[in-house]
Amino acid sequence: MEREFTVIIEKDEDNWFIANVPELEGCHTQAKTLDELMKRIREAIKLCLKEKEEITNTTLIGIQKIVV
């Protein structure tokens, strides 16, 4: 059964792409290119799913930048 997950992608000061899956605590990875990042986050999700039996169903509403 296929599942859909939200992936938050950021880019750090060294130009590395970082992916985080909010629904799966601790599920994240990084890569130099977006193509490699997508490959790695799929692998990370599969590994996280093997370790997690209960997953909280959440829905991403949005991401907002705030300057303080």
**Tally of domains within the chain:** 1
- 62 is in which domain, residue-wise? 1-68
* pTM summary value: 0.76
Residue 20 confidence (pLDDT) above 70: yes
DSSP label of 1: -
Q: What is the CATH number of the domain that holds 38?
A: 3.30.160.250
Look-up of token digits 């599920």: 27
d(Cα 61, Cα 34) in Å, to the nearest integer?
A: 23
How far apart CA 46 and CA 57 sit, in angstroms, is: 17
pLDDT in tens, 24-68: 889 999 999 999 999 999 999 999 998 776 656 667 778 887 788
- Measured CA distances, 59 to 21, 37, 38, 64 (Å): 12, 22, 20, 15
